[in-house]
Amino acid sequence: MASEEEYTREPLVCGLQLRFTADICAALQQVSLKRGRPSLGHGHQFTLCTGKAATLRSKSSCKALQWPWDKNCRRAFHTDDCFLFFGFTAGSDLILESSTWNNNVVGELSKWIDLDAADAQLRHASEKALKQELMWASHLSLAAVVAPCPSKSCLNYANAIQRLTSKNPRINLWISVPLSVPAKGAGSTDDHDEAASPWHAWNKLRVLCNNTNSMGVLLELSSNLPSQADQDRWFAEPVKAVLIPTSIFTANAKGYPVLLAAHQKLLVRLHQYDVQFILSGRPKHMDGLAPYYLYLDHLAKRAPAPSMKDEFESPFYDCLQTPLQPLMDHLESQMYETFEKDPIKYEQYEKAVARALADTPVDKVSVVMVVGAGRGPLVRASLRAAASVQREIRMFAVEKNPNAVITLRNMKEMLAWGDTVTIVHTDMRYWEAPEQADILVSELLGSWGDNELSPECLDGAEKFLKPDGISIPCEYTSFVAPISTPRLWTDCRAFGDLKYMETMYVVKLHKFNEFDDPQPCFTFAHPSWRKARDVRTGREYFASEKTVLPALVDGEIDNARFRTLEFTARHSGMLHGFVGYFEAKLYKDVSISINPATFSEGMFSWFPIYIPIRVPQLVRRGETIRAAFWRHCNTSQVWYEWALDAPHPTPVHNVNGESAPIKLTSED
């Protein structure tokens, strides 16, 4: 019987770079194109073929370079010419079926092409050849075409690529980029190595091509690897495949090819990001390439099997979602159902309520109010908590959504809650409670803590909390970190309106990389008479004793905030905005968190927040990233504003909430 891992792991997709073949059909059959288990023991599922051929060039360009051609306009190959070619005839695309060209062949541009050559004749010939080769690749519907790594001066290269891909968006280019520069001598410096990093060449080309979606990356692996920070930044980039030369393998005690531990770790991680493997070079083993594939397949199997959380989140990877506005809109049944599947969140809430009830006298009947009760998961968790610590409670379940109230009333009958639970259909902020509560339980947190207006809701609801009453949660803090995420930024830009670059999004970030660790931003504490504020930082926190909070505005609780944060970039990269998390203290040491440093393992109710900036900025390793964040509010809405101060100032985003307000009332 197959293990769970065999059912759930992604199959290894492995390609083979062909340097020479007289018969592409035979070559494809040899490396086994069948999906799933390899039929010939190799398991290769596509080939990378070099298009250094007459089929992709005109007579005129070849004549200019004085290369030999036969009468059928095909290059005369010699025994030392190591590249696959196809005849320049009308029927050459009939060698393979269209589906095979599309699914199993990746082309490669001719090595001689130099679009930034100093020689005008060579440059002109290169432009013509590039156009013809890409036209031929488009005609064949190749999955992708590999293009060479750009040089420091790649202006004409970028211009030519952008002109051709803009006219034919079906062309997908994989830019070949070495993962690291060759090892330097003892006199080399980190700064020199950083300046020479191939990532900068890729980034320059990407920026010159206006961050087109037509370009991806083919990473070339070598025996030496860059630092961990430099490896990490590639996981934010559109890496499509990794080229693995057979020369970097070593033989184990039995003579089979293996990789060093650092290379193993990198490849396992790349596989988890759906990066395809491509073998390159001559095999050193007597059984040919089969042992190499089997070893790579073994590495792929070492990736941990997806958890239930992974299965739930994977469809949402890097998918922009507008944050919920529960005060303006009623949640739908499907949304409630999704949230209710989270086991960790409700376990923690149940534990917090149980701890709070355990701190009360045994004979006391505590009044528990669940505000924003939804379809009742917190009601059920609170009832279980009371039973676990043998405390008697009387509960009010307050909910404004009329559809959810129907579910609550039916649940009350089905589960025989009787007089223990009273269902109240109203907005918690305006309810006149018949008595005061000992414990106020709420589930109003957003992906950035306060962004679904938990402070405004609880400030309105605390009027029916006893002076010594307990709020669960009692404190929550938003966190923020600068990130590189080309895909999300490009997706925001694709909407074609400035307001989408000034909107926060709920995203399960997948291909991104943090420049520095997250830092706390805004903190809110409840109830208001238990709030205190750090004089130095202005940060609010929950005080164990009743306090007087001086920061009131006209006698009202002030939920506006302003914070400036500084980060130090641990690697160079493009800054595309910020990622937001939160931590929440439910009761005493019981908490929930989506901050990676304190993450509640297994919890999936909240994805992080993506906070874009209008124009990406190049950040050098060691540079300071300074940003300001504001939380503003008035009688009708709450909104966030943000701006960069360093490395380069930006305009303040979302001024007056013009692009992305969070409404305090329904528009019905």
296-307 pLDDT, tens digit per residue, is 999 998 888 888
pLDDT score recorded for residue 555: 54
Q: Is the pLDDT of residue 510 over 60?
A: yes
Mean pLDDT of 93-97: 79
pLDDT value at position 94?
78
DSSP structural state of residue 135: H
Pairing of strands 540-542, 531-533: antiparallel
| CATH, range 305-319+473-667 | 2.70.160.11
Tell me the pTM.
0.85
Rounded distance between C-alpha atoms, residue 402 and residue 425, angstroms: 7
pLDDT, greater one: 301 or 219: 219
pLDDT at residue 26, as a whole number = 66
The percentage of the chain sitting over the pLDDT mark of 70, rounded to a whole number, equals 81
Class for the domain spanning 328-443: alpha beta
Closest CA to 584 of 491, 489, 452, 387: 452
DSSP letters of 620-668? -TT-EEEEEEEEEE-SSEEEEEEEEEESS--PPBSGGGSS--EESS---
Alpha-carbon dihedral of residues 285, 287, 293, 294, nearest 10 degrees?
-100
Task: Provide the β-strand partners of residue 556.
Answer: 553
The 10s digit of each residue's pLDDT in 252-271 is: 999 999 999 999 999 999 99
Q: Which of 178-187, 290-299, 301-310, 350-359 has the lowest mean pLDDT?
A: 178-187
- How confident is residue 193, by pLDDT bands cut at 50, 70 and 90? low
| Averaged confidence pLDDT in the chain | 84
Q: Does domain 79-181+197-304 have CATH number 3.20.20.150?
A: yes
Terminal-residue alpha carbon distance, the chain: 57
Phi, psi of 347 (to 5 degrees): -65, -45
Q: Which of 584, 575, 577, 565 is nearest to 478 (CA)?
A: 584
Catalytically annotated residues: 443, 452
**Domain boundaries, given as residue ranges, for the chain:** 79-181+197-304, 305-319+473-667, 328-443
Q: Show binding-site residues.
A: 336, 345-346, 399, 427-428
pLDDT at site 184:
56
Mean pLDDT, residues 101-105: 84
pLDDT in tens, 44-82: 456 666 543 333 333 222 222 223 333 333 333 232 322
Judged against a pLDDT cut of 50, whether residue 189 lies above it is answered with no
Domains 79-181+197-304 and 305-319+473-667 share a fold: no
Alpha-carbon gap, residue 619 to 626, rounded angstroms = 11
Average the pLDDT over 486-499 and give the result.
Answer: 96
Q: Which residue has the higher pLDDT, 287 or 517?
A: 517
Around 46, how many Cα atoms within 13 Å sit in the side-chain half-sphere? 22
The binding site for S-adenosyl-L-methionine comprises 336, 345-346, 399, 427-428
Whether 373 has a pLDDT exceeding 80, the answer reads yes
